[in-house]
Structure formats: structure tokens, C-alpha cells
Amino acid sequence: MVRENEIRENEVAVPPPQANDAGLVFIGTIRTPWTSRLICPRQGRADGPVCRIALFAPWDQALAGIERFERLEVLYWLHQSRRDLVRQSPASNGETHGTFALRTPVRPNPIGTSIATLVAREGPVLLVRGLDCLDETPLLDIKPDRTLFKPIAPPQPGDFETG
């Protein structure tokens, strides 16, 4: 937990990825049954097939404690997407919608998110249900489902601001 770049007792740092402007680092690979976009689910389902999220070292160390959460928010890079459409016609019927009014994979920054159910952890690999991405989709991040997570750090003034 870092508030002003400090390192605190028992915190563990690893060599950081090279800093570049808003650069992302792929921290693992997602293995799913789907090798074509034509058969991939449009949205993952809680009773869908078990998929494997394989973390690369050293990021596997960041899984410590994850077993406490039944559901995880998984973020991934929809690497085969085109990125240039601002209006899209999901039904191919001439009716278009703005990209940001859709959950389409075609977006300027093709980030996909799903709530996945954690089935098991096998070392650096998480077994989950609820994904909707192609096999070998790059992994961007994993967080506890926000409805299951309570901040561990003490509250601070902004937490009480309303209006």
C-alpha cells in the first residue's frame, strides 16, 4: 500500500516495468476454450467453463490472500480488436451506438472486464468461471470484487464527503 511512494514494513517491491507514458504491462495469460471470436461468449457467465489465469513471475507473488475472495474483477487486453470505431452497429442493422455506450471489444483502449468466480488457486494459476475472452488473451489486472472488499487502510477525509 503506497500513499506517497513510501515502502512500508513487510512490503515487497520487485523491479518495476519500464516507465513510459501510460504504459501497460501484461502480467499473465488467460487460457480459455475459445480460439475464435465467432464462438466466444459475448459476456461471461457464472456457470461458464473453468478458465485458467496464469500469472507471470514476479507478479504471481501479488496473489497472496486472494483465496479470501469468492469473486474477482479481471481486466484483460482484447489484443485482436480494432481500435478505431466511435460508432458501432452491434446488430449489423444500420443502427449505430457510440462506442462508450457499448461493452464492445472494439474501443480505443481495448480493455475487457469480467466478474469471475474463483474456483481454485494452483500456485501462480487461478481457476475461474465467468470469462469471455479468447485463449491467450493478455492479463492486465485482478482485483477483489468491489462488493466483497472493505478497505484495510484507515479512512481519510474524502471518505466522508458527500454532495
Query: What is the x/- site pattern for ligand SAM, positions 63-102, by CB under 6 A?
Result: ---------------xxxx---------------------
Task: Select the span of 13-21, 38-46, 64-72, 142-150 touching ligand SAM (CB under 6 A).
Answer: 38-46
Q: Rounded to whole angstroms, how far apart are CA atoms 57 and 41?
A: 29
In the shown chain, the binding pattern of residues 125 to 144 toward ligand SAM, with x for contact by CB under 6 A and - for none, equals: -------xxx--x-------
**Side-chain half-sphere CA neighbours of 61 within 13 A:** 7
Residue corresponding to grid cell 493478455 = 138
Q: Which is nearer to ligand SAM, 48 or 132 (CB)?
A: 132
DSSP annotation string for 32-70: -S--STTTS-SS--TTS--EEEEEPTTGGGGGTTGGG-S
Which residues are near ligand SAM by CB under 6 A?
37, 40-44, 78-81, 103-105, 112-114, 132-134, 137
